[in-house]
């Protein structure tokens, strides 16, 4: 989605926040330090989402743990604690985890902190609205359309939507960026094409300057960059989706000629398997090839629903446009400045890393006939090698 009147603002915010990110990477590169990319990229995406959605600076990249929004009562700490206290199906057989009586209490406690803090930020923005031309966050644009004081119903809706952006966007976008860095670090020819495209679009000027002057033209010119992002989302989809079939609905699916009744079940769409199905993607389905996105056959593949990293239909991810712009801006700022290498698991390939921790079928899961074994991921550490 792109809110009307925001043209240029998103890119400017993202480039300024990403420059903080690249400065931190630069510091790590000068000392040849091994870094966990997730820590760096998650803080970056939180800062971008906060500014674009609410016009609020979480200062996640500049704040140490224990202070500000990362403090005991901070919204970022509370969100992290909520994720930590949520039920984890991988630990379902552990009775201490499955029947933890503290879980609902702690979830309510931290949810209250998040709601209270976001309400304070929203109320502050509502009471001190700047002219539309000065602040064009999604929240500000929404407030411009509301006559009179912020009513409780609209306020509650804002809080819910902001939580969706931060919770979903922070993890999925950061995961995507990490996988992009991994994929291009293993494929020098892809990185070379990215650098050539960025040289053509930005020349010897600062990326921030070009994005501030002509954001749409610059982003539209990053055609190969978009293909790399799409191929990474196909190859390493950062999230899945689940839908529930109500009990008594009689919902069923036809699998291999056999009718399976699934009412009362939670249905999970496995993007990893769909995105590598040779029926749609051909014999190169398991290969990382950004150029496939320039093939005339790609329209038929998309029409068949074989590519769905943001899902499809009315329940598709509302932050799709923001995530794609984020990824483009981040790549524009790092590809020509740094080389990265995977650190840890020396000599181990990506696929072998995925195979180190299999998820075995547990009570409540119904593997369909012919389904493939699923595997968890593993943390990949990175080292920024050199500045260009």
Q: How far apart are CA 215 and CA 336, in angstroms?
A: 19
**11-25, 77-91, 355-369 — which is least confidently predicted?**
355-369
pLDDT for residue 160: 86
Pair 323, 176: CB distance under 8 Å: yes
Residue 146: pLDDT band (50, 70, 90) is: low
The three-class DSSP label of residue 18 is helix
Q: What angle do CA 243, 248, 249 make, to 5 degrees?
A: 55
- Segment 346-365 mean pLDDT: 41
Query: pLDDT band for position 371 (50/70/90)?
Result: very low
Overall fold of domain 9-202+319-387: Cytochrome p450 (1.10.630)
- What pTM does this model have? 0.81
- The rounded distance, in Å, linking the Cα atoms of 387 and 378 is 27
* Helix, strand or coil, per DSSP, at residue 272: helix
Tell which residue, 267, 268, 229, 264, has the closest CA to residue 250. 264
DSSP-derived 3-state class of residue 243 = strand
Is the pLDDT score of 203 beyond 90?
yes
Compute φ and ψ for 343, nearest 5 degrees.
-115, 145
Closest CA to 117 of 172, 77, 153: 77
Q: Are 184 and 147 a contacting pair, CB within 8 Å?
A: no
Q: Kindly report, residue by residue over 191-201, the tens digit of the pLDDT.
A: 999 999 999 99
Domain ranges of the chain: 9-202+319-387, 238-272
- Whether 317 has a binding-site annotation, put simply, is yes
The per-residue pLDDT for 275 is 94
Q: What Rg do the C-alpha atoms of the chain give, in angstroms?
A: 22
Between CA 17 and CA 200, with CA 223 as vertex, the angle to 5 degrees is 75
pLDDT digits (tens, 9 = 90+) for 1-24: 343 344 455 667 778 888 999 999
pLDDT at 113: 94
């Amino acid at each position: 989605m792109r809110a009307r009147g925001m043209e240029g603002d998103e890119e400017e915010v993202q480039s300024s926040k990403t420059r903080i990110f690249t400065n931190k990477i630069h510091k790590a590169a000068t000392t040849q330090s091994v870094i966990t990319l997730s820590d760096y990229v998650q803080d970056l995406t939180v800062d971008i989402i906060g500014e674009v959605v609410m016009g609020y600076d979480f200062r996640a990249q500049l704040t140490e743990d224990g202070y500000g929004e990362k403090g005991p009562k901070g919204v970022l700490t509370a969100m992290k604690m909520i994720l930590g206290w949520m039920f984890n199906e991988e630990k379902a057989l552990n009775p201490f985890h499955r029947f933890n009586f503290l879980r609902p209490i702690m979830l309510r406690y931290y949810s209250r902190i998040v709601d209270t803090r976001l309400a304070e930020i929203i109320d502050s923005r509502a009471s001190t609205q700047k002219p539309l031309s000065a602040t064009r966050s999604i929240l500000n644009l929404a407030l411009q359309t509301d006559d009179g004081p912020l009513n409780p119903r609209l306020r509650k809706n804002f809080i819910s939507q902001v939580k969706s952006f931060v919770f979903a966007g922070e993890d999925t976008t950061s995961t995507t960026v990490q996988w992009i860095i991994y994929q291009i670090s293993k494929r020098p020819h892809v990185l070379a094409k990215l650098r050539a495209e960025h040289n053509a679009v930005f020349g010897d000027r600062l990326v921030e300057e070009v994005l501030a002057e002509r954001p749409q033209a610059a982003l539209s010119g990053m055609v190969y960059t978009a293909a790399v992002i799409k191929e990474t989302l196909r190859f390493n989809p950062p999230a899945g989706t689940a839908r529930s079939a109500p009990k008594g609905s009689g919902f069923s699916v036809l699998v291999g000629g056999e009718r399976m009744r699934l009412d009362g079940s939670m249905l999970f769409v496995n993007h990893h398997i769909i995105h590598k199905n040779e029926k749609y993607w051909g014999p190169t389905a398991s290969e990382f090839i950004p150029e496939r996105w320039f093939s005339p056959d790609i329209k038929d593949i998309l029409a068949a629903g074989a590519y769905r990293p943001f899902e499809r239909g009315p329940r598709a991810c509302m932050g799709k446009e923001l995530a794609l712009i984020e990824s483009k801006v981040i790549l524009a700022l790092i590809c020509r400045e740094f080389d990265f290498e995977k650190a840890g698991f020396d000599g181990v390939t990506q696929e072998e890393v995925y195979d180190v921790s299999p998820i075995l079928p547990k009570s409540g899961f119904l593997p369909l006939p012919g389904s493939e074994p699923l595997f968890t991921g593993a943390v990949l550490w990175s080292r920024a090698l050199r500045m260009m």
